Copies of this chain bind each other. A is one copy, B any other.
Amino acid sequence: MTVQRVSLVTLGVADLPRSRAFYEAWGWMVRQSADEIVFFQMDSLVVGLFGLADLAEDQGRADAALGTGAMTLAQNYATTEEVDERFEAALAAGATELKRPVTAEWGGYSGYVADPDGHVWELAMNPYWVTSESGTQIPADLPES
């Protein structure tokens, strides 16, 4: 049985130094970088920044377009205050505000920003997810359907 896992999320970006500066300004620590790529260790996952043309070429595509919002990244926090704090930090770093954090219909608290290339981040507090010993957020143990 294969372990199901995402090892790496790669964001295709138009201007690597601009994107690196944005994420560092947002408070992210670079794990490793080279001329053409920047890696952030996000707990057990790695997020990479990579030139859009390089990413398209690596995929064997003629082209790859910028972020559309069809794939979003989310970080969950324990409190609404943390969500607000991280949201303001994103704006201060140059993110575009899509939706200010609000109490959501489903009972959580959530806001959205877009990074310089339009990649979308949700910042949320979800009272229905539980935090494991290692800090990982896991959907509460409801029966599968």
Contacts and interface: CB of A to CB of B under 8 A. Distances in A.
Interface in A105-145: 110, 112, 117, 119-120, 122, 124, 129, 132, 134-139, 142, 144-145
Interface in A17-32: 27-32
Contacts of A124: 7
Nearest to A99: B60
Contact-residue size bin, chain A (C-beta under 8 Å from the other chain) = 35 or more
Given A2-B86, A5-B45, A40-B4, A71 B135 contact: no
Interface of A: 2-12, 27-34, 39-47, 52, 55-56, 58-61, 64-76, 82, 86, 98-99, 104, 110, 112, 117, 119-120, 122, 124, 129, 132, 134-139, 142, 144-145
